[in-house]
Amino acid sequence: MSEKIMMNWGSIHMQLLKKKILEEGQALSESILKVDSFLNHRMDPVLMHEMGKEFKRRFQDEKIDVVLTIESSGIGPGVMAALELSVPMIFARKRKSVTLTDDLITANVYSFTKKEANEIAVSNKFIGSGDRVLIIDDFLANGQAALGLMEICHKVNATVVGIGIVIEKAFQDGGAKLREQGVRVESLAKIEALSLGEITFVEEREGAIHE
Ligand code: 5GP
């Protein structure tokens, strides 16, 4: 399969990620990227660890108390970011569980890949007023997952210090929606366009830290 490659290499961490996306990613359509071999099904722990380091580098000027993500694909990058930042990580749960007996903070999220609405929930024991939260997720498409996680933070008066995304599909409107609200969004790889057999990255300034 021939792939046209258009990119401008960024930091070393992002280089590894972009290389992996180009080598193993599959554009299933003009809007869906499959990266099951290293992010969404099988996970590459070395690459995940590099992502954690890169999130730490980008948010090193912020005080962060906790990383918040959503099950299941946010957990890998989320826990690596939390490890590097030396803070706990919480993942919002999508499925009810008999062990989830605490008072829950909830939000409704429409899933881009499953095409269904889910109630996501976090125990009020683990997040609260004054907490400074870094939200992490694997993909940013229309921003529904990130907005749901922000809603949970707002419900308990926690502060969202930023959002870290592994792969932002810049041709969808999630990034604009979140940035319009004044939230800092840092994406390790930004995709400009997908078509069958072709993945095009947004060109980025070398070493750029802020958007
Ligand atoms: P959003 O909520 O921003 O519309 O979509 C983000 C969520 O949908 C992520 O949590 C991710 O799991 C999933 N997602 C969105 N687009 C893609 C994609 O192109 N590929 C994969 N594998 N997951 C995606």
The model's pTM is: 0.91
pLDDT at 11: 63
Question: Would the pLDDT of 209 be above 60?
Answer: no
Question: How much is the average pLDDT of 58-76?
Answer: 97
Buried b (16+ CB within 10 A) or exposed e, 158-189: bebbbbbbbbbbbbbebbebbeeeebbbbbbb
Q: Using a 6 Å cutoff on CB, does residue 107 contact ligand 1?
A: no
Distance in Å, CA 84 to ligand 1 centroid: 24
Which of these, 132, 128, 149, 154, lies nearest to 87 by C-alpha position?
Answer: 132
Question: Would the pLDDT of 211 be above 80?
Answer: no
State the pLDDT confidence band at 95, using cuts at 50, 70 and 90: confident
Question: How much is the average pLDDT of 25-33?
Answer: 96
pLDDT at 110: 94
pLDDT at 114: 87
Question: Would the pLDDT of 69 be above 60?
Answer: yes
Q: What are phi and psi of 150, to 5 degrees?
A: -65, -40
Question: Would the pLDDT of 40 be above 50?
Answer: yes
CA distance to 100, 129, 156, per residue, from 103 (Å): 8, 15, 12
Q: Using a 6 Å cutoff on CB, does residue 104 contact ligand 1?
A: no
pLDDT at 96: 74
Q: Using a 6 Å cutoff on CB, does residue 38 contact ligand 1?
A: no
Residue identifier of the C-alpha nearest atom 19 of ligand 1: 32
Let me know if 4 is exposed, middle or buried by CB neighbors in 10 A (0-12, 13-18, 19+).
exposed
* Residues with Cβ within 8 Å of residue 175, at least 6 apart in sequence: 140, 143, 168, 185, 187
Q: Which atom from ligand 1 is nearest to the alpha carbon of 141?
A: 3
Q: Using a 6 Å cutoff on CB, does residue 137 contact ligand 1?
A: yes
Question: How much is the average pLDDT of 64-71?
Answer: 98
Q: Using a 6 Å cutoff on CB, does residue 26 contact ligand 1?
A: no
pLDDT at 184: 98
Question: Would the pLDDT of 60 be above 70?
Answer: yes
Q: Using a 6 Å cutoff on CB, does residue 144 contact ligand 1?
A: yes
Percentage with pLDDT > 90 across the chain: 81
